[in-house]
Homo-oligomer: A and B are copies of this chain.
Amino acid sequence: MARQPTRLKDIAAVTGVTANTVSLALRGSSRIPQETRDRIVAAARKLNYLPNQVAQSLVSRETKTVGLILTSIVNPILTQAARAIERELAVRGYSLMLAASENDIAKETDALNVFRSRQVDGMLIYAASHGALDHIRPLRRAGYPIVLLVDDPTRRLDMVSVDDRRGAEIATDHLVGLGHRRIAFLDAGSQLGNLEKLEGYRKGLDKGGIAFDPRLLVDPGGHSAARAHAAVAAFLARRERTTALLASNDLLAFGALRACRDLGVSVPRDLALVGFDDIEASDYAPVPLTTVHYGADELSKAAVDRLLELINTPGRLPRPKQTFIEPTLVVRESCGSRDGGRAQRGGRGATR
């Protein structure tokens, strides 16, 4: 990029030694006498020398780079994870390369290839579809360090993820415990085959002795709050006599909240609402959101740790390891249990 970056050879020319000596000196080899070293280091500073990492990588066969594939960068929770990942990597001397799949397997595959071609030392992947991992598996078999950031049902890849199933289950438990029987589930993941949250929801229902009713599934057909807004509005218009709604992420919950406001449905009095992710804005929502929380930083750290473990394993990769981050429920106002009473008996309502 700079038109003429300084090379070892340039420093060599100035100091009257050979490029090799400069290389050794700059890396502090004791083979070079202190005095020569100082002279070389001084010259390097003066010439504003920085080693060419691409040349280094070619010989060392490592790039000190990790690739991260995100689904969509709009979801704040992914952003938060990306940030923690960048930080964790930076302190360990790795750089982060970013790609987005937009929930599209073809783009995910493209990103995989780009990263491979760029010789990244490892990859972190928010797979678009948890069921469709067959484009990733061969890479692991070929020896590529890869850590999935979503659940792999088959357990054949390394993985660090929040326990989505458990998260949806505790959220459902909470609503069931509050006396709700008709609990709707707002989720965009099913289309992509990401069924963990749905399963957790069903498990929670089961435990409460509530039959699963597919009419209570609402699919926004997209991942934005706007989509959720429309879908929930349509759903509410159907008058399914729902008293609670579990949204599979907070952005969708925001849309739901808006739909309720439009239709004069009071949250939590008329409808108890629970989200998922606990993004920063959830606490600042019109009705502060009860939501499933998990440590995105903790998750990121665990994922980076595992990835570096794989990267630094000399021979064959160790057996895949699965790590689940345990979620907790953060109870705020939107579920109606904040002030003790059952949501049905009416709480403070949605006043501001």
Contact = CB atoms under 8 A, between A and B. Distances in A.
Contact of A225 (B51, B139, B280): B280
Nearest to A49: B117
B97 A1 contact: no
A143 B6 CA distance: 13
Interface stretch (A119-127, A148-156, A173-181, A202-210): A119-127
Interface residues of A, number: 66
Interface of A: 1-5, 48, 50-55, 57-58, 63, 65, 72-74, 76, 79-80, 82-83, 86-87, 90, 95-100, 113-114, 116-122, 139, 142-145, 224-225, 251, 254-255, 257-258, 261, 280-281, 283-287, 311, 350-352
Nearest to A139: B2
A146 B80 CA distance: 26
17 contacts: A1-B144, A1-B145, A3-B142, A3-B143, A51-B117, A53-B117, A54-B119, A73-B83, A76-B76, A86-B98, A86-B99, A90-B100, A96-B97, A225-B283, A261-B352, A281-B284, A286-B286
Contact of A286 (B79, B96, B143, B285): B285
A54 B57 contact: yes
A106 B143 CA distance: 37
A114 to B, nearest CB: 6
A117 B52 contact: yes
A307 B97 CA distance: 18
A76 B279 CA distance: 11
Contact of A120 (B1, B73, B100): B1
A3 B61 CA distance: 10
A106 to B, nearest CB: 13
Contacts of A74: 79-80, 83, 280
A44 B52 CA distance: 30
A284 B74 CA distance: 15
A65 B115 CA distance: 12
B53 A55 contact: no
Contacts of A352: 261, 286-287, 350-352
A137 B117 CA distance: 33
Given A57-B54, A79-B79, A225-B280, A1 B116 contact: yes
A143 B351 contact: no
A224 B116 CA distance: 37
Contacts of A98: 82, 86, 96-98
Given A284-B286, A350-B352, A352-B352, 14 more contacts: A1-B120, A2-B142, A54-B58, A72-B83, A73-B82, A76-B79, A79-B79, A86-B98, A86-B99, A86-B100, A95-B99, A95-B118, A96-B97, A286-B286
Contacts of A96: 97-99
